[in-house]
Amino acid sequence: MKRRQFINSIGAGAGLTALGLSAGCATVGGSKGKVVVIGGGFSGATAAKYIRMWSEGAIAVTLIEPNPAFVSCPISNLVLGGVKQMADITTSYDNLKNRHGIQMVRDTVVAVDTTKRTVTLAGGSTLPYDRLIVSPGIDFMYDKIPGLNNADAQSKVMHAWKAGEQTATLRKQLEAMPDGGVFAMSVPLGPYRCPPGPYERACQIAGYFKREKPRSKVVVFDANKDVASKGKLFKKAWADHYKGYIDYRPNHKVIDVDVQTKTLKFDFNDDMKADVLNVIPEMRAGTIARTAGLATLDNRWCEVDFLTFESKAQKNVHVLGDSIQGAPGMPKSGHMANQHGKTCAAAVVAMMTGQEVPSSPVYANTCYSFVTPNEVVHVASVHSYDVEKKTMLKVNGSGGLTPEANELEGVYAMNWAQNIWADMLG
């Protein structure tokens, strides 16, 4: 048999199994065991859905998520700029239940017992698992910013780096700010979620000011020494569209905040008072990943096996998304988290149904940033498993940047958002 014929026959088989499942899986029972997923973000929801799809319903999946609906960080900067609404970035979890037979539990996991293989919920109940997927996203290191290290302060100064109420509140603060005001945002030292996100945010809020409050300005205090991603493209956008609106100051690390006077304090520079503050603290793996003993790197990030996303610290426990210590050149992005979810799903299905774990994962990262309401720039890369180094590495010659911001990619970026939301939740 020729190679092409063989591959065609494989493709046909894959098609049949995919068809078999599209009729819908109404039941939650699983003859091949049970997976519990903690966190319904880009990686967790994707893993939950794909395990159901690829096991053809043979594996039961429970997804534990405290929020009533998914709110997307990608596109949320357009909400802050006033060109999109909260409804545009919000998607229900209902399809996971109704189309894929995933048991949805609206709660928070407070403890994991890896010996008994159970998780305990804030609501008090305990759920058993055969395999656990931990995908809680990031938490903020408020302990490094004393003035923000309490609930009252955190209710006044937004990070808006987890989309939802934070996004809506920051938008209201911007709307309430009088013309002539100063919006000051801080960028943490890396690694942080979504490397280009802060610079896209500066564009979108500056655009809002330019349209509606032209005497106002955006000051970006970056703890890093330069723009972390798409630097030339963002700086060109700032020069072309937002001259006089964006003041970018690298090497400014926020060490404290006076919430009463809305003042940022830095390690070396003079204090800065503003009308609206947006402080994005340094980040680490979500709390449950740390308390479950999975954050093996500096008690901050979780190391995993890149074939299975199984934790290097605990058997039968997988960690996905922004909580992991990424491979070289692998950003903490929603797109990458979605790819983690599928790679892990393939491995989990293989392990739980007695098959060989796929040994050559390949996936891409595509990250679009809006520099105006319509114009977009991207960075892309393809990553492939390296057997010797046991990690994902960028494929030589793949990937790259947009040469120049353009409207066509504005359309593609919205296509991307619609399709990735549907891929995880549809």
Partner 1 sequence: MSMKKMASAAGVALLLLTANAVSAQDLQVKQWASACANCHGTNGKAVGKAPALAGQPAAELVKKMAAYKSGERPATIMHQIAKGYTDAQIEAMAAFFAAQK
Nearest distance from residue 381's CB to partner 1, in Å? Answer: 8
393 binds partner 1 (CB under 8 A): no
Annotate each residue in 17-56 with x if it binds partner 1 (CB under 8 A) or - if it does not, as one string: xxx------------------------------x---x--
Report the residue number, 80 or 414, with the smaller CB distance to partner 1: 414
Q: How far apart are the first and last CA of the chain?
A: 38
Q: Which stretch binds partner 1 (CB under 8 A): 196-204, 211-219, 238-246, 342-350?
A: 342-350
Per CB under 8 A, the list member of 107, 149, 262, 412 interacting with partner 1 is 412
Q: Check: CB of residue 202 under 8 Å from CB of residue 80.
A: no
Q: What are the residues whose beta carbons fall under 8 Å from the beta carbon of 388, sequence distance 6 or more?
A: none
411 binds partner 1 (CB under 8 A): yes
Report the residue number, 17 or 155, with the smaller CB distance to partner 1: 17
Q: Which stretch binds partner 1 (CB under 8 A): 116-124, 170-178, 266-274, 398-406?
A: 398-406
Residues in region 49-88 near partner 1 by CB under 8 A: 50, 54
Distance CA 185, CA 209 (A): 15
Per CB under 8 A, the list member of 26, 111, 122, 408 interacting with partner 1 is 408
Q: Check: CB of residue 37 under 8 Å from CB of residue 133.
A: yes
Per CB under 8 A, the list member of 43, 339, 369, 372 interacting with partner 1 is 339
With b meaning 16 or more CB within 10 Å and e meaning fewer, what string describes 336-368? Answer: bbbbbbbbbbbbbbbbbeeeeeeeebebebbbb
Per CB under 8 A, the list member of 107, 190, 350, 391 interacting with partner 1 is 350
Q: Which stretch binds partner 1 (CB under 8 A): 23-31, 131-139, 166-174, 336-344?
A: 336-344
Of 72, 36, 176, 97, nearest to 417 by C-alpha is: 72
Q: Check: CB of residue 126 under 8 Å from CB of residue 120.
A: yes
297 binds partner 1 (CB under 8 A): no
Report the residue number, 20 or 146, with the smaller CB distance to partner 1: 20
Q: Which ranges constitute the DSSP H helices of 213-320?
A: 231-241, 287-291
With b meaning 16 or more CB within 10 Å and e meaning fewer, what string describes 264-281? Answer: bbbeeeeebebbbbbbbb
Report the residue number, 152 or 356, with the smaller CB distance to partner 1: 356
189 binds partner 1 (CB under 8 A): no
φ/ψ region of 160 (left if φ > 0, alpha if ψ in -120 to 50, else beta) reads left
Per CB under 8 A, the list member of 8, 31, 125, 155 interacting with partner 1 is 8
Per CB under 8 A, the list member of 92, 338, 390, 392 interacting with partner 1 is 338
12 binds partner 1 (CB under 8 A): yes
Backbone angles phi, psi at 205, to 5 degrees: -75, -35
Per CB under 8 A, the list member of 4, 124, 152, 270 interacting with partner 1 is 4
Report the residue number, 7 or 122, with the smaller CB distance to partner 1: 7
Distance CA 410, CA 195 (A): 19
Per CB under 8 A, the list member of 285, 349, 371, 405 interacting with partner 1 is 349
Q: Check: CB of residue 195 under 8 Å from CB of residue 230.
A: no
% helix / strand / coil in the chain, to the nearest 5? 35, 25, 40
Q: Residues 320, 321, 323, 328: what is their CA dihedral angle, to the nearest 10 degrees?
A: 100
Q: Which residues bind partner 1 (CB under 8 A)?
A: 1, 3-4, 6-19, 50, 54, 335, 338-339, 342-343, 346, 349-350, 353, 355-364, 366, 378, 380-384, 395, 397-400, 402, 406, 408-409, 411-412, 414-416, 418-420, 422-423, 426
